[in-house]
Amino acid sequence: MKAARLSALLAAVALGAVSGVAAGPAGASSGAVVIASGLTAVSGLAVDRDGSVYATQLVPGSLLEVSTGTAVPIVKSATPVTGVAVDDRGAVVYTHGSGAGAGTVEAVLADGGTRTLADTMLYESIRNPDAVNSYGFQDLAAECAADIRPTGALPGGGLPYTGRVTSKAAAIAVLADGTRVVADNAGDALVRVTRTGAMSTIAVLPPVAVKVTAALAASQGLPGCAIGSTYAFEPAPTDVEVGPDGLLYVTTMPGGGALAALGSVFAVDPETGDVEEVASGFRGAIDLAVAPDGTIYVAESLGGQISIANADSPITFRLVSRPSAVEFADGALYVAAGFSFVPGTGEVVSIFLR
C-alpha cells in the first residue's frame, strides 16, 4: 500500500491574524477570509462542488449551510451532529454520535427531510470489531496490577482488556462508488455503509503502545512498579477522508493531557483493510484534510494549530485558536476555529493556498 505523497510548502508569507487564524512557520497562502461566525462547537466541515460549505455542531446538534455568512439550518437535532460529507452527486450525509454509546448515519433527502441509513451502535453490539485488540497494561505483575485503579486516561486499570461494546460515529467520508465510511471513535474501527445500508468492517485501528516512564507514572499517579511496562491505548479515530490515491486517511486521538502527543494519521486500503501509519506526534489530532497533491493537513485541537503530516514530526502550517475541523476544496483550506460550548464563539475561515 503506498503512503500519502507529502509536499513541502514554499517559504512563509507574512500574514496577520485573521480572527482565530494566524500564519505559522510553514504558512503559505494568499489570504484568509472568515466565512461564518457566531457558531458553537463545530465538529465537522464539508464543501460541495458548487461551493456550498456545510458545518456540523455538537450543541445544539445541527447541520448548517454557512456559505453566505449566515448559518442556515439544514438539520436540527436533540443529539450531537458529529460529521458531514458530500458525495459526487451533491448528496449530503452526516453522523450522530454521543458519549452515551450511540451512533447513526443519516442522509439529507431532496425534499429537505432526512433518512437513517445505518445504526453503528447496533452494528457494534453484533460485531464489536475491536474485540481483537488488547488494550491497557500488557505486562504487569499481578501484585502491581492490583495497585492500579481505572481512571479517565487509563480506563483498564492495571489489567489488559479487549475492545468493549460501545460506539460513537465521529466522522464520515464517501468513496467514489458511493459507499459511506464511518470513523467510529469509540469502536476504534472504520465501518463501511453501502447505499442499501449494509454494514461491514473495513479495518480496526491498532492500539497505541506507550512505554511508561517515571514522568508518565508520576503524571498519572502510577506506582513505581509500573515504570518500564507497556500500556496500549485505544486509538480513537476522529476523522476519515478519501485521498487522491483512493486510500482512506484517518486521524486518531488516544490519551489526553500529558499523553496528548499520541495522535497519528493512518492510511487504510478500503479494499484490503491494510493499515499503515503515515505520521505521528500530533497533539489532539481531531480532524484532517487531504489536498489533491497528497498533502495532509491535521487540526491539532490541543496543539492550537493546523499541521502538515510529515514522517518525522508535524510541520506547523497555521496557528489556530482551538481548531476542530479542516477541509480542502478548490485550492482553499477551510478551518473551524474557536471551538467552545459557549454559544457563538466559533467560526469557519477559508485560507486560499498558492
Q: What is the pLDDT of residue 100?
A: 67
- Type of residue numbered 185: N
Q: What is the mean pLDDT of residues 223-229?
A: 96
Q: What is the pLDDT of residue 183?
A: 98
Residue 283's domain comprises 21-353
- Angstrom distance (rounded) from CA 340 to CA 207: 29
**What nine digits make up the cell of 165?**
461494546
Residue 90: C-alpha distances to residues 31, 49, 52, 86 (Å) = 27, 7, 10, 6
- Does 2 map to a domain? no
- Angstrom distance (rounded) from CA 174 to CA 58: 21
- Does 181 map to a domain? yes
CATH number for the domain spanning 182: value is: 2.120.10.30
Cell 447541520 sits on residue: 63
Q: What is the pLDDT of residue 198?
A: 96
pLDDT more than 90, % of the chain: 80
pLDDT of residue 333 exceeding 80, the answer is yes
- Does 61 map to a domain? yes
For the chain, the domain total comes to 1
- Angstrom distance (rounded) from CA 18 to CA 40: 19
- Angstrom distance (rounded) from CA 26 to CA 6: 14
- Does 5 map to a domain? no
- Does 4 map to a domain? no
- Does 114 map to a domain? yes
Count, residues in the chain = 354
* Predicted TM-score (pTM) of this structure: 0.91
Single out the residue of 58, 226, 217 nearest to residue 153, CA to CA: 217
- Does 269 map to a domain? yes
Q: What is the mean pLDDT of residues 228-243?
A: 96
CB of 220 closer than 8 Å to CB of 153:
yes
CB of 353 closer than 8 Å to CB of 15:
no
- Angstrom distance (rounded) from CA 82 to CA 131: 24
For 103-161, what is each residue's pLDDT tens digit? 899 999 999 999 999 999 999 999 999 999 999 999 999 999 999 999 888 888 999 99
- Does 10 map to a domain? no
For 253-277, what is each residue's pLDDT tens digit? 997 655 778 999 999 999 999 999 9
